[in-house]
Amino acid sequence: MWNRRKPAGALEDSTADSRYALEKLLGYHFKNKDLLVKALKHRSYVYAEEGSDRIESNERLEFLGDAVLELLITDYLFRRFEDKGEGELTQMKSQLVSRKALAGQADRLGIGAFVLLSEDEREANGGQRPSILCDTLESLIGAIYLDGGLEAARSCVRRAVLADFHQIVQPDAKFNFKSRLLEYSQSKGNGHPRYLVHAEHGPDHDKIFSVEVCITGQRMGWGQGRSKKEAQQMAAKDALESLEAL
């Protein structure tokens, strides 16, 4: 079905059956097929195959899809868990939209086979790389939002991201960012992260704490919360997201 020399057969040249296969995986039928194709164009493909700059890749759609996904996941959690506070909702959202979780869901759907990559990137198994899988899923969500609106994107998110909710969200992992950051720091031989209260705002009954976390003297993350403990967790979360992006 696919030509290995031209990444994933390039959807602009593929059959209607192959386009339909991807749309079936997503649970959405595109009116504008160009949006579908652009959502799959990794920057390596754009450089190698089209000689264009990266604005023609899927990165702009990824930027949009990331924001749409955040909104829809936040809305879902807010409505479903009326008994949960901000900290717990933030924890659940973080698990659902993490790079690891999104890459896993994209892999489950088989999206890697459809990503448009350069020959070199394809040979290096770029279609299985977590960062590419995650980014492509976000760009597809952005494309669906543009093509069909918010409700179409919501349906896709339910199918592509929330289908394994109970496997992804671990209720017993409440506020586990500090332990995860500690494990990471110790695995690198950097000892314990150090948390410093940067500022306190508000009256005693409604204080907001700002905390930064440092590893080997270098500031790695920053967070706020209604207690020092919550602010430390948010700082650890920020540090983990920064480290994950490296």
SS3 of residue 82 by DSSP: coil
**How many whole angstroms separate alpha carbon 153 and alpha carbon 144?**
6
DSSP track, 165-185: HHHH--GGGTT-HHHHHHHHH
H helix or E strand, kind and range, residue 198: strand 194-201
- Find the DSSP H helices in 81-227: 86-96, 99-109, 119-123, 130-148, 150-160, 165-168, 177-187
Q: Which three-class secondary structure state does DSSP give residue 161?
A: coil
Residue 42 structure tokens: 């990794």
- Are residues 153 and 73 in contact, defined by beta-carbon separation less than 8 angstroms? no
Instruction: Tell me if 180 sits within 8 A of 91, measured CB to CB.
Output: no
Catalytic residues: 66, 138
